Amino acid sequence: MLLAILSIFIGLATLYFLVSALIANGMAASKRIFPPALEYPEVRFGNLFDDTKISGWLIPATGQSSKATLIAMHGGKQNRADETVGLLQMCRDVARLGFNVLSLDRRGCGRSGTARLNERTKSDRDFGGAIDWILKQNPDEKVLLFGTSFAGVAALVHASKDHRVIGVVADSSFKCSLAMAQRCLYETFPPFKVFAHGAVWMAGPVCGVGDDDAIDAVKKIICPVLFTGGELDRVVPPSDARELLEASGNPLDEILIVPGAGHSQAYRTSQATYIARLDAFINKCLQQ
């Protein structure tokens, strides 16, 4: 009897972790949506930690010398143009303000390389590679990071370790992986929520998710951070941005929650307000 119970327990545990591993793998799997061909210089570079090559566009400041470079990275499984959030248009708007923009395909997406199995989520490394590339062209350039959703978390994690960053814009960025996994799995199929802990645990060996949650990273960032989000975001509720702001404890940090906006839709919902805040924030960072 005891042996039978033990066998059932082992079988259920094995099934639980197998399903958790499959979920973790699916969340980090590569997807190729290629960006359109545009008349911007194509940039390609690596990083100091692995052999993944990252591609992007360098969108030059319009009609003037650049005051700084904003490195932008999309979320989800999109690409550097990401029409779902208006990323390319936002980058062009920032360029018109007098800043260069380096818009990237994150690893495993667009024209960037696919990382090894346990390095697929290390997009914070790609921000580091981008900074290295920019400073190689101009050692005096000031650099800021912009990321939506998962890429916003990557920007925060990298900024917590790299003091060359003078400012971060984290758009619709979740505070911790477990809470995000629970929400995503519940939205997909409510009973899947039971696999959230297993999926997050398996995400380490399966796709390289570490212990770097945004809620911990913000406490180590010394530069200003602008947290943005949408009031109607069900994927990453605005409460995450508010908690990240509180956890950072930096009086220079700011928050912008756009009424009527869903996940990563703050810019598309209120473009003029969003760009005005970006402009003011970047200029504030340049004065620190």
pLDDT digits (tens, 9 = 90+) for 82-103: 999 999 999 999 999 999 999 9
Residue 288's CB is within 10 A of a number of other CB atoms, namely 10
Q: Which residue has the higher pLDDT, 256 or 182?
A: 256
Q: Nearest CA to 62 among 42, 83, 91? A: 91
Average pLDDT, the chain: 83
pLDDT winner (highest mean) among 7-16, 44-53, 274-283: 274-283
Give me the mean pLDDT over the 172-197 stretch.
Answer: 60
Give me the mean pLDDT over the 142-167 stretch.
Answer: 96
The model's confidence at residue 176, banded by pLDDT at 50, 70 and 90, is: confident
Residue 65 has pLDDT above 70, yes or no: yes
The reported pLDDT for the residue numbered 26 is 46
The reported pLDDT for the residue numbered 10 is 57
Question: Domain 2-29+41-287's class?
Answer: alpha beta
The reported pLDDT for the residue numbered 66 is 85
Structure tokens at 202: 């398996």
The model's confidence at residue 11, banded by pLDDT at 50, 70 and 90, is: very low
Going from the C-alpha of 265 to that of each of 90, 219, 254, the distances in angstroms are 11, 26, 18
The reported pLDDT for the residue numbered 207 is 45
Residue 120 half-sphere exposure toward CB, CA atoms < 13 A: 21
The reported pLDDT for the residue numbered 67 is 87
The reported pLDDT for the residue numbered 180 is 56
Going from the C-alpha of 139 to that of each of 122, 131, 134, 142, 143, the distances in angstroms are 25, 10, 8, 9, 11
Residue 269 has pLDDT above 50, yes or no: yes
Give me the mean pLDDT over the 259-265 stretch.
Answer: 97
The reported pLDDT for the residue numbered 118 is 59
The model's confidence at residue 58, banded by pLDDT at 50, 70 and 90, is: very high
Pairing of strands 42-45, 54-59: antiparallel
The reported pLDDT for the residue numbered 210 is 53
Could you tell me the residue ranges of all domains in the chain? 2-29+41-287
Q: Which residue has the higher pLDDT, 72 or 210?
A: 72
Residue 199 has pLDDT above 90, yes or no: no
Residue 260 has pLDDT above 90, yes or no: yes
Q: Tens digit of pLDDT for each residue in 102-150?
A: 999 998 899 998 877 656 567 899 999 999 999 999 999 999 999 999 8
The DSSP-derived string for 45-99 is E--SSS---EEEEEEPPSSS--S-EEEEE--TT--TT-TTTTHHHHHHHHHHTT-
The reported pLDDT for the residue numbered 277 is 98
The reported pLDDT for the residue numbered 48 is 83
The model's confidence at residue 7, banded by pLDDT at 50, 70 and 90, is: low
